[in-house]
Structure 1
């Protein structure tokens, strides 16, 4: 058990990931008085313009970084969270057969200890009780997402060890590590079937068929955090990323009332814990909160 204030660190690969993965959770905890810090490992410099209504193209990495810096600040305000940049350069998503090499100096090619050192320093400074990030697959095979997992896991495992990363602050041992599961097949199928049952066109039809056809294994969901009251904050944060998010597109295709009825929570996998907890959970701080604060 620990005393307030509780602290949550959410580690993401690019600006906009914090708004599409666990955003309502961070908004909820921030509103409840938890100190929440989002870390973006890269500046999203090599992201494409994914919003067809954005109105212009951006090909210069420095310009894209500047634009996405402004977007990220607005998203953080919408969620009510603190934000830090880890400072690495977006690796881009390689395409083709065979895949081209990753660009020199990018995040995914950075040696692990060099990439993890600034995050270890942030962990030792911010002193989070809980860290969230992606599972070992990255959630999808973007090299920055996979590297983000590696870096966050390294920081979770080593930040409390005084012999590791010397000169990077006083040791601090986080208590729990979670993986985001924002696009689980259970959620996708439930919302897909509800939309079809309501006579609506589902945005998940092709997704359900392709995921099922490839027999992608589902990772364990241990924790469902109720977040129905914070979908507005999530949506505002998504819209802040105007280069990436189409306000008439995929992320807004499910009617809010249907989403509230079918899936009013966000899902996580408890990957590691240094405290006793009982699964399933409905709180990332289960086993950490003082008894009087536990519902």
Structure 2
């Protein structure tokens, strides 16, 4: 009898789950495992045009994306988006910004979910917080604390091969000024070197689910003078989307990197 596992994916804002781990979540769910999605904030600072109802809109988008990926449960911790540079306002009477909440306090809700779900695997972000968003960096520390407190067997940090990202950015910039520019000061400071990664998950067979999930985040494809990343990826034709988004990288905490990347998020447990 095939053993079934529970994977909890922890993300900072709606759409992060689709961009970084969408294919993995879809694959894990299709293989019969339980997928639980936990999001720290509703990304209220993620609008280009100042929509005061953006949080509610993004929550609805999150649930549509989660359904496309096969998630069995979605939980929002309810903190406020801290903003790309940590400069989002923190008005009185509102929930605190995620970066302002001490790690132990911010982890409490996640720990409760991990224990209730009897989770086997937790995914978070690498130590760089991906491209360096303050909420992503804070989430890295919160996840490390929660995984230890809840005795989670496997902690996987979602990342991107820095070398492939740098090449993709160069190609995008050559393609024209209307393509999106990710908020990276230097790609050398973003995500991870491929030599640091332990897992490379082939999600090419699940490109449709991943693209549907990305397209669910309509608010992140609107506004501003430039085409935004979610919009660009969502518009790619199937074969090109599969080429660009058909792999997802992780670092398993405590496992030494190897020449050959692991292709199964549950390999340590099997």
Superposition TM-score tier, normalisation by shorter sequence: 0.7 to 0.9
1:186 aligns with 2:128: no
Deviates more, 1:226-235 or 1:253-262: 253-262
Which residue is equivalent to 1:30?
Answer: 29
CA distance in 1, matches of 2:219, 2:262: 35
State the Cα deviation string for residues 33-63 of structure 1 (Å, max 9, x = none): 01011100112122214xxxxxxx5532xx2
Which residue is equivalent to 2:125?
Answer: 134
Number of residue pairs aligned between Structure 1 and Structure 2: 252
Q: 2:246 aligns with which of 264, 281, 288?
A: 264
TM-score (ref. length: structure 1): 0.74
User: Secondary structure of the equivalent of 1:46?
Assistant: coil
State the Cα deviation string for residues 2-59 of structure 1 (Å, max 9, x = none): 972211111000111111111001001101101011100112122214xxxxxxx553
8 Å Cα contact 1:188-1:204 kept in structure 2: no
Deviation of residue 256 (structure 1)? 3.5
1:146 aligns with 2:137: yes
User: Secondary structure of the equivalent of 2:39?
Assistant: strand
Deviation of residue 251 (structure 1)? 1.8
Deviates more, 1:133-142 or 1:243-252: 243-252
TM-score (ref. length: structure 2): 0.80
8 Å Cα contact 1:7-1:35 kept in structure 2: yes
User: Secondary structure of the equivalent of 2:62?
Assistant: helix
Which residue is equivalent to 1:78?
Answer: 68
Q: 1:177 aligns with which of 133, 137, 155?
A: 155
Deviation of residue 217 (structure 1)? 8.0
Which residue is equivalent to 2:43?
Answer: 44
Deviation of residue 89 (structure 1)? 1.6
Deviation of residue 66 (structure 1)? 1.3
8 Å Cα contact 1:190-1:262 kept in structure 2: no
CA distance in 1, matches of 2:263, 2:12: 25
Where in structure 2 are there 5+ consecutive unaligned residues?
A: none
Q: 1:109 to 1:244 in 2, by over 3 A?
A: same
User: Secondary structure of the equivalent of 1:91?
Assistant: coil
State the Cα deviation string for residues 94-130 of structure 1 (Å, max 9, x = none): 37xxxx5862521110122111111110110011111
Deviation of residue 190 (structure 1)? 6.2
Deviation of residue 179 (structure 1)? 1.1
Larger Rg: 1
8 Å Cα contact 1:94-1:102 kept in structure 2: no
Cα RMSD, aligned residues only: 3.2
Which residue is equivalent to 2:232?
Answer: 250
